[in-house]
Amino acid sequence: MFLNDSDLQTIWLTIRLASIVTIILLIVGTPIAWWLARTGSRLKWPISAVVALPLVLPPSVLGFYLLLAMGPYGPVGHLTRVLGIGALPFTFWGLVLASVFYSLPFMVQTLQNAFEAIGDRPLEVAATLRASPLDTFFTVVLPMAMHGYLTASILTFAHTVGEFGVVLMIGGNIPGATRVASVQIYDYVEAMEYAHAHRMSAVMLIFSFLVLLALYIWRPNARNVIRGE
């Protein structure tokens, strides 16, 4: 068999994680991206820098500070204790929260570029027709930015699938709970089970190639989005 039961379980967990993170970031990233695209505030640049931090920050550093924040003495850990949720580190939902931070720039920057490309004219026309800001967003902005939404969703999903450092710091390596595809490959290499590592790596390689190929064919300027331009 090409993939064993453990591999299939790991792949399913990875897909579930990436899907949930993408949905959360579509909801959270939209208002952030819209504000960054439209604001003239001086806070735009510091907030843009914070959003982009995961692009340049070593995953181990981000994972370390998230681990402190979600730990029993951290602000997030204290809040989850008060709410009766319990500790998040080394749980699936801890992975989700960490992945949201780690994949944030792939959603926000792509949507921001899409919003900025719309320009002011369509919004001004909608305003002359007495459309409310909410109506304008859903009837004008959203359809015009749909390509950006699809690109942002695909990039966020693919980036979450390929996570390793943050996942290992926050989730550890618990079968069926936090062991995702990248960690599974690491386990195989550590155990010198190279045949299994080859098979899982091949799946990841083919997936990554197909995602990038689809993006480049469907939207030639996607290479600029990936570079953050």
Residue 102 has, within 13 A of its CA and on its CB side, a CA count of: 32
Kindly tell me if the per-residue pLDDT of 228 is higher than 50.
no
Kindly tell me if the per-residue pLDDT of 225 is higher than 60.
no
CATH of domain 5-227: 1.10.3720.10
Q: What average pLDDT does the segment 169-177 reach?
A: 85
Residue 156: predicted pLDDT = 93
For the entire predicted model, the pTM comes to 0.87
Domain extents in the chain:
5-227
Q: What average pLDDT does the segment 153-180 reach?
A: 88
Counting residues of the chain whose pLDDT is more than 70, the rounded percentage is 94
H helices of the chain, in order, are 5-38, 44-56, 59-70, 75-82, 92-118, 121-128, 133-136, 142-144, 146-161, 165-171, 181-190, 194-218, 222-227
Average pLDDT of the residues of the chain: 87
Kindly tell me if the per-residue pLDDT of 1 is higher than 80.
no
Q: What average pLDDT does the segment 71-86 reach?
A: 85
Nearest to 72 by CA among 59, 90, 57, 58: 90
Residue 218: predicted pLDDT = 67
Q: What is the residue whose two structure tokens read 């980036």?
A: 159
What b/e string do you get for 174-203 counting C-beta neighbours within 10 Å, with b at 16 or more? eeeebbbbbbbbbbbeeeeeeebbebbbeb
Kindly tell me if the per-residue pLDDT of 224 is higher than 70.
no
Kindly tell me if the per-residue pLDDT of 226 is higher than 60.
no
For residue range 105-129, what is the model confidence (pLDDT) as tens digits? 999 999 999 999 998 888 888 888 8
Residue 169: predicted pLDDT = 87
Q: What average pLDDT does the segment 199-227 reach?
A: 74
* Band of pLDDT at residue 18, cut at 50, 70 and 90: very high
